[in-house]
Structure 1
Amino acid sequence: MRKLLPLALTGLLAVSACQLVGGDDAGDEAHRLNSMKAFPLNAYLPDAASRDGKAVGTAQWILARQCMVRLGFTGFKTLDIRTVESTYPVRQGTLASGGKVGDNSPYGVDDPDLAAEHGYHNRQREESDSQPMEWPADQYTALTGTFETGDSRRSHGRTIPEKGCMGEAVGKIYGPEPKPTKIGGVRLSGYYSLPAQLWYQAHKEATKDPAWKKADRAWSTCMKGKGFRYPDPDEASTDSDWYRTDQPSRKEKKTAEADARCKLDTDYIKAVHAVESRAQKTVITKNKKALEDSRAADERAMAKARKIVDAQS
């Protein structure tokens, strides 16, 4: 499954150019459907931007702060949670600069004007303005439980939790972590592995549907008429040429612009979204109890997170 899993996991979406000027209904509809929120399974995934979602992030840092103090990092006693909430630690010296290939939509570029400007380097920022913070190696390893060669697994004489203070905090909020699963050969662990697994399964089935294949052919024919030869949008957006520079090349911009226009001209997004939504409804029906149990566990975790946050107020 292309861009969805990152997110995760990670992670993890017919008009002419002149018709787009001033806002076009078909273009607006394509953009609306090209979003995680437009799929049935999204109801079983957390909304990090919601009040409860933010409470979970804040509670995680509150508990992680306590853990770090316990490990001997006394400076964390005065850590202002507001400066780090909604972020995850980054090791000092590893923050990358420049653009990144890909975006956060299920079907890639859908706005010809934006594509002409950014190409496929159009990764959207999270709704939160919070940006990752870099931490010194000793603090980073204690926070995340992620080690490089030479890193100590102890801090100030105390053993660092298996998944660091951040992982320990999540465990206190959510409880025992579900067993890992594999999706497309990738080992996936975490509290939302079930809906992610089902999303991948539904996507895989959807791409086999004749209606999806027909949409790919129509898009490919449109692209060929503009001088570009790709069998489907995934092949265009993941062309290895785009990964060689931080900024989009002239060729990339032209390809992405044609990609977006052909999606609109052929109603590509509307067609494949309908197929994938049906596939998701099928897996939801077959796994209804497990999904409802997962959502109930999420609601319990959010309630626990709110109590943690309120206790600090």
Structure 2
Amino acid sequence: MRKALPLALTGLFALSACQFAATDDSADEARRLNTMTALPLHAYLPDPASDGAKAVIRAQWTLGKKCMVGLGFTGFAALDTKAFDSTYPVRQGTLTDGDMPGDDSPYGVVDPDLASEHGYHNRQPDVSAQPQEWPADQYAALTGTFESGDSHLAHGHRIPEGGCLGQATRKIYGPPPRATKVNGVKLSGYYSLAMQLWYESHKTASNGPAWKKADRAWSDCMKKKGFRYSDPDKASVDSDWFGHEKPTDKERKTAAADARCKLDTGYVPAVHDLEARTQNTVIGRNKEKLEAMRTADERAVRKARTIIGEAS
């Protein structure tokens, strides 16, 4: 007959089980909140995997192909636009940022196990679009992006503003909104308002006392582990992480401690709540403009489908 466990051990196992459950719950919550889709302004940004977004890209290439032929790139007449609707153009020989540190989450690493393996190099491949290299002259004509010494003419024809793809986008969406600068970066796209509000609301929230308190708690936790950073952003962009094809041991250890301290201090739920509330405030103040942007996007999708239908 099996003896019952001593009462002290029974309580210890029960306590450990509760601790593991609590840890699992906090990790799940951190992962759930550490996504762009978990923030309110995401509703005003396009989903690149949606049928509507794919229709717009197909229409851009349909119009862009015709424009390129008009510029003298006769080989584009045989271009199968379906082969490029999941790509974006890059100049031939341009280095991509695939080995750069960073990821696509708003608050950085939150999984200690993944962080101990990948460090801060957690950028996921974009399944909606991949870079497609084009020769310098074709890239300039497609995008209207020029390097020093590039001609603004193609076979004697002036390249339109924004290149053939930019011209196509204007035909689908209409005139672009007024350009604005955010943190030194010029935003001129059709979703620039949502991105501007995202940046401004994040800046407001992260400069508030409650966010600073969360930063201090995380920083104190990191100090106990031997790492000195004032906030998670400082850790993730440490210059030591750049210039390596693979993360160093130091990077992996730092990232793992970063993720563990985020879980132990409840960092992600705290700052997410602050940022979500700030975003809801700016959405309320700009509701009419944001809804107009959404309506324009729906109109553009309808026009794109018409363009595709007429070209079929």
TM-score normalised per structure 2? 0.90
**Structure 1 partner of 2:37:** 37
**Distance verdict in 2 for CA 1:95–1:208, change over 3 Å:** closer
Structure 1's unaligned 5+ residue stretches are 1-15
**One-letter amino acid of the counterpart of residue 279, structure 1:** T
Mapped to 2, the partners of 1:83 and 1:262 lie a distance apart of 45
Alpha carbon RMSD of aligned pairs, Å? 1.9
Q: Which amino acid aligns with 2:33?
A: L
Is residue 153–residue 160 contact of structure 1 (8 Å, CA) maintained in 2?
yes
For the pair 1:288 / 2:293, whether they are aligned, the reply is no
Q: Deviations over 1:103-152 (max 9, x none)?
A: 11111111111111111111111133x42111111111110111122222
Question: What is the distance in 2 between the residues matched to 1:311 and 1:95?
Answer: 37
What SS does structure 2 have at the residue aligned with 1:100? coil
The corresponding residue for 2:249 is 250
When the two structures are aligned, how many residues end up with a matched partner? 295
Matched, 1:236 2:235: yes
Query: What letter is aligned with 1:301?
Result: A
Shift in alpha-carbon separation, 1:37–1:97, aligned structure 2, 3 A: closer
Distance 2:178 2:44 in 1: 18
Aligned 8 A contact 1:100 1:122 in 2: no
Q: Which protein has the bigger helix share?
A: 2
Structure 1 contact 99–122 (Cα < 8 Å) conserved:
no
Q: Which runs of 5+ in 2 are unaligned?
A: 1-16
1:46 & 1:149 partners in 2: Cα distance? 33
Larger mean Cα displacement after TM superposition, 272-281 or 174-183: 174-183
In the alignment, the residues of structure 2 paired with residue 97 and residue 75 of structure 1 have an alpha-carbon distance, to the nearest angstrom, of 30
Structure 2 counterpart of 1:113, which letter? D
Contact persistence 2:177–2:189 (CA under 8 A): yes
Q: 1:119 touches 1:257 (CA, 8 Å); kept in 2?
A: yes
When residues 175 and 97 of structure 1 are mapped into structure 2, their CA distance, relative to the original with a 3 A threshold, is closer
Report the more deviating stretch, 23-32 or 245-254. 23-32
**What one-letter code is carried by the residue in structure 2 that aligns with 1:169?**
A
**Counterpart in 1 of 2:102?**
102
Any residues of structure 2 matched to 1:75-114 within 5 Å, and which? Answer: 75-96=75-96, 99-114=99-114
Relative to structure 1, the CA distance from residue 183 to residue 98 in structure 2 (aligned partners, 3 Å threshold; closer, same or farther) is closer
Partner SS, residue 46 of structure 1: coil
CA contact (8 A) 2:98 2:123 kept: no
Are positions 1:217 and 2:216 aligned together? yes
Offset, 1:231: 0.8
State the Cα distance separating 1:95 from its structure 2 match: 3.4
C-alpha distance 58-182 of structure 1, shift in aligned 2 (>3 A)? same
Aligned partner of 1:11 in structure 2 is none
Corresponding residue for 1:115? Answer: 115
| Alpha carbons 1:109, 1:115 under 8 Å: kept | yes
- SS class of match (1:244): coil
Question: How far apart in 1 are the matches of 2:64 and 2:51?
Answer: 20
| Residue 124 of structure 1 pairs with residue 124 of structure 2 | yes
Amino acid at match of 1:122: N
Percentage identity across paired residues of the two chains: 64
Q: How far 1:98 moved relative to its partner?
A: 5.6
Answer with 1 or 2: which has the greater Rg.
Answer: 2
Alignment partner of 1:311: what SS?
Answer: helix
Q: What is the 5 A alignment of 1:270-281? A: 270-281=269-280
Q: Is the 8 A contact 1:102 1:121 kept in 2?
A: yes
Partner SS, residue 258 of structure 2: helix
Q: Which residue of 2 aligns with 1:4?
A: none
Is 2:137 the partner of 1:138? yes
Distance 2:97 2:216 in 1: 37
Q: Contact (CA 8 Å) 1:98, 1:247: kept in 2 or not?
A: no
Alignment of 1:53-202 (within 5 A): 53-96=53-96, 99-128=99-128, 130-202=129-201
Counterparts of 2:96 and 2:296, CA distance in 1: 35
Find the residue that maps to 2:262 and give its secondary structure.
helix
